[in-house]
Homo-oligomer: A and B are copies of this chain.
Amino acid sequence: MSTRLGDLVKSLGGELIGDPDVVVTGIAPLEAAGESHITFLSTTKLRSQAAATRAAVLILAHAEVDFIRPRFHGALILTDNPYAYYAHAANYFVLLNTTPPSPGIHASAVISSSARIAPTASIGPHVVVEAGAIVGEHSVIGAGCFIGQDARIGASTVFHPNVTFLSDCHIGERGVVQSGAVIGGDGFGFANQKGQWIKIPQTGGVRIGDDVEVGASTTIDRGALEHTRIENGVKLDNQIQIAHNCIIGENTAMAGCVGVAGSAKIGRNCTFGGAAMILGHLTIADNVHVSSGSLVSRSIHEAGQYTGFYPLAKNADWGKTAAVVRQLDGFRDRIRELEKLVKELTIKK
């Protein structure tokens, strides 16, 4: 479905330079955009490509106007944050083009008589909802999801198909949980008694705030005695493991394959690159950014970017440097000895 450009800008804000009656049908990248598309310029590096786009409309920052205007003859939308505007505009088109699932409970779903499903919620085929669980207004529970005893799902939250959301787990409003995610598995807790592992029952739950996204096949374990906590606005990509008793602070984002060990307490507005690992019982301050593939083995008390991965090399070169890494402790001693000897030689001379 299409929209009048003026209607879109009225809804989303920004300054329109051009014809509000232009009809637009969607968003496309700079090079792929056709004559009914909106596109966006989010970095000065791409300004030449932006000038050459065939799109009808270009979203851009005020600072780019002088360069773009003589070169591009479509409409402009000026905004402080073109990338965020693109996100809002894309959501605008999604709403325009998507029919939400019909409210109601599919005949094949198995719902406990003591569960409370809001009348505007949609429950897909083969879903199971156990005793005491609550599903909020306008929420969507995709096919095959499991909702455990006393679980709570806030309004307007979407579970894609085949999510497992176990007993005593809560999630707030406007959440998104991708397929294959498992929330509320037992934390990994065992006491060792003469070589045997005795399971420690995991009796806490999981508490997830509003506006949280959980990626496909991501796992969040329940707490041992207290709850595992994911605060408002947290975004978790796929294949992430959050162990028991962790606290992930507001608006922190983690890329795919990150692991967080038990009882780690992570601050707000942090970002973690793919496959970063955080050891247990650590504290990470707000605004800490950890690079991909880096292992965090101590608490971090100061904001900033942290990195720790072995640099890639051709295999033969790596073989040589890795062999030297094993001798590094000796190198330090040899350099010290050389410094001592050279100093003696210099003095004597």
Question: Interface of A with B (CB < 8 Å)?
Answer: 27-29, 32, 81, 83-84, 86-88, 90-91, 93-94, 106, 108, 110, 124-126, 128, 142-144, 146, 148, 160-162, 164, 166, 176, 178-180, 182, 185-186, 188-193, 195-201, 203, 211, 213, 215-217, 219, 221, 225-226, 233, 235, 237-239, 241, 243, 251, 253, 255-257, 259, 261, 269, 273-275, 277, 279, 290-298, 304-315, 317-329, 331-332, 334-335, 338-339, 341-342, 345-346, 348-349
Contacts and interface: CB of A to CB of B under 8 A. Distances in A.
Contacts of A334: 335, 339
A321 B328 contact: yes
Nearest to A239: B241
Nearest to A192: B84
30 contacts: A27-B225, A84-B193, A91-B198, A128-B143, A144-B144, A161-B164, A164-B179, A164-B216, A180-B182, A180-B219, A186-B213, A188-B215, A190-B235, A195-B269, A197-B235, A199-B213, A217-B239, A221-B238, A237-B243, A257-B277, A279-B292, A297-B311, A304-B315, A307-B313, A307-B315, A313-B326, A321-B328, A324-B328, A334-B339, A345-B345
A214 to B, nearest CB: 10
A101 to B, nearest CB: 10
Contacts of A203: 90, 94
Contacts of A190: 87, 235, 253
Given A256-B243, A295-B309, A90 B201 contact: yes
Nearest to A92: B201
Given A190-B87, A257-B259, A322 B311 contact: yes
Contacts of A106: 110
A184 to B, nearest CB: 8
Contact of A87 (B142, B191, B237, B326): B191
A336 to B, nearest CB: 9
Contacts of A84: 191-193, 198
Contacts of A198: 84, 87-88, 91
A219 B217 contact: yes
A87 B331 contact: no
